Structure 1
Amino acid sequence: NLYIKNSLVDFIKLLKVDDKRKLDEVVKLYGKMSNDTLIKHTYINYPYYATKSLIAESILNKEQINKINSQKKQSNETILFTIGYEGISLEHYLNKLVLNDVKLLVDVRKNPLSMKFGFSKTLLSKYCESLGINYLHIPEVGINSDQRQELNTQKDYDELFERYKKTTLTETDSYQLKIIELLKKYNRIALTCFEADVCQCHRKPLAESIEKFPIFDYKIKHL
């Protein structure tokens, strides 16, 4: 992609001294490399970042490809993961999914919108699919935003989740069974919502409810 600056502001002059020094170092090391050369350099020196590449085989030799393949995270163990994105970047979040070989991300937010870049439904599904991770939104098992007001203590969260267990979780057996069927199909799926602390997120009681079904015989892991 080509980007053209249409502002008269000299952003280089606005940089802090240390930031400018680091930028100068990057330009000195890599500024004269072509796109293909820079990609090849990155893949050879940081093979993990090529594990999802669609072009690696066309620019690397067999030995280099084998090195990349050795970095791929694959597991046959069936696990139901849960993950929140509070306090971490999109890159960190996606890396967690890749490192745990998640095949399907199940968004269990009632409203899949976010002020944080990359975590609204459209973009999140796009970035997941670019990494070979499927995306599915199941809002029926979410909690309405108006019920999430004034949550100041763990007791507030606990009371909210007790109501959630007695209402939503008793009314959504079909969706919870659907999640189990998806787990059987994909082996490694992750339920996602916002909160970093799983004890302050409905994905924990949801996972525990799913775990109680007689046909569930798998491991649960909170990332």
Structure 2
Amino acid sequence: MFYRRKIILALLQVFEGQVDKISLQKLLFLFTKNQAKPEYDFVPYKYGCYSYSAHADLTSMVSKGILTDLEKAYKCNETTNYFNTLKADDKKLMLYVKDQYGKMNADALMKHVYLNFPYWAINSVKAKEILTLQQFEKINNSRPKSEKTILFTIGYEGISLEAYLNRLIKNDVKVLVDVRNNPLSMKYGFSKSQLQRYCNSLGIEYVHYPEVGIQSEQRQELNTQSDYDKLFAVYRQNNLTKTTASQVKILNLLKEKKRIALTCFEANICQCHRKHLAEAIKNLPDFNYEVKHI
């Protein structure tokens, strides 16, 4: 079993085996915030901090009978003491979370998180209800905002879905432009339908331009930077010269939405075609904007 799932099970067991769904996300957030290397990342969602990855793990454990979904809560069905399987530091942290927050209901936990971590409350539908006007203003002031027009590029290699989405939110990206030829991924959350759904749930539009991508069979045996450079030389000559219409569409989208991001897999921009696509768009007439790799 993944260690991160043991943390969820231990958390449920420490809290008498059953926790409501909103509280569980908040408790898990408070727990991971104090980990040296967090097992889960979170995004600002409609009830505050939320981990899609944790939800996926919970759903998986329900399907295996490890947990029971009680509609508004999760119940642990395991007899194994998962607290005893945790690392020493995580045991101490788990007991700290229990001691500090064990008597708080969902609203109290939400309020605590909102006041202490306002960024994670920027999309909350409950914030205005449970906070004072002054406290709510602090939430609004935590929302990333910018009117500057920027063409961003971003890769998802090596980071979680939530960390990736937070980069988009913190840069006030309005539209994610998927430039993969084949938008399927073994990495959780990054296949087209999933990524579109998660972006939309956070108010980010998603569009896909497969024609500006590189086909999978062309991406074999890329072992050195020289291999990538040869691939991109062919890409510039054979693809970018033929997809000007799509590049113009992306530029027009940038002009309309002001902050859009081209996305593909690679973290290293020098090993991804999106760098060359961004340069091609930059060289179009009427492009007077910044290009930024995040």
TM-score computed with the length of structure 1 as normaliser:
0.95
How far residue 188 of structure 1 moved from its aligned partner, in angstroms, is 0.2
How far residue 28 of structure 1 moved from its aligned partner, in angstroms, is 1.4
2:185 maps to which residue?
Answer: 114
| Structure 2: distance between partners of 1:121 and 1:3 | 29
Name stretches of at least 5 consecutive residues in structure 2 with no aligned partner.
Answer: 1-20, 22-72
1:88 and 2:159 aligned: yes
1:129 and 2:200 aligned: yes
1:71-127 per-residue CA deviation (whole Å, 9 max, x = no partner) reads: 111111111000111111222211111111100111111111212222222222222
How far residue 10 of structure 1 moved from its aligned partner, in angstroms, is 3.0
The one-letter amino acid paired with 2:157 is: E
1:26 and 2:97 aligned: yes
1:195 and 2:249 aligned: no
1:206 and 2:277 aligned: yes
How far residue 8 of structure 1 moved from its aligned partner, in angstroms, is 4.2
Q: Which moved more, 1:35-44 or 1:17-26?
A: 17-26
| Structure 2: distance between partners of 1:9 and 1:146 | 47
Q: Which has the higher contact order (CA 8 A, sep 6+)?
A: 1
The correspondence for 1:142, drawn from 206, 213, 218, is 213
How far residue 195 of structure 1 moved from its aligned partner, in angstroms, is 0.6
How far residue 4 of structure 1 moved from its aligned partner, in angstroms, is 3.1
| Structure 1: distance between partners of 2:268 and 2:277 | 14
1:37-62 per-residue CA deviation (whole Å, 9 max, x = no partner) reads: 11111001111111122221121111
The one-letter amino acid paired with 1:139 is: P
RMSD in angstroms over aligned alpha carbons? 1.3
Q: Map 1:150-189 onto structure 2 (within 5 A).
A: 150-189=221-260
The one-letter amino acid paired with 2:94 is: L
Identity between Structure 1 and Structure 2 (%) = 58
1:66 maps to which residue?
Answer: 137
Q: SS state of the match for residue 262, structure 2? A: strand
| Structure 2: distance between partners of 1:221 and 1:16 | 40
How far residue 5 of structure 1 moved from its aligned partner, in angstroms, is 3.2
Q: Map 1:30-69 onto structure 2 (within 5 A).
A: 30-69=101-140
1:76 maps to which residue?
Answer: 147
| Structure 2: distance between partners of 1:55 and 1:165 | 49
Q: SS state of the match for residue 74, structure 1? A: coil
TM-score computed with the length of structure 2 as normaliser:
0.73
The one-letter amino acid paired with 1:69 is: N
Q: SS state of the match for residue 4, structure 1? A: strand
The one-letter amino acid paired with 2:210 is: P
The one-letter amino acid paired with 2:266 is: E
Name stretches of at least 5 consecutive residues in structure 1 with no aligned partner.
Answer: none
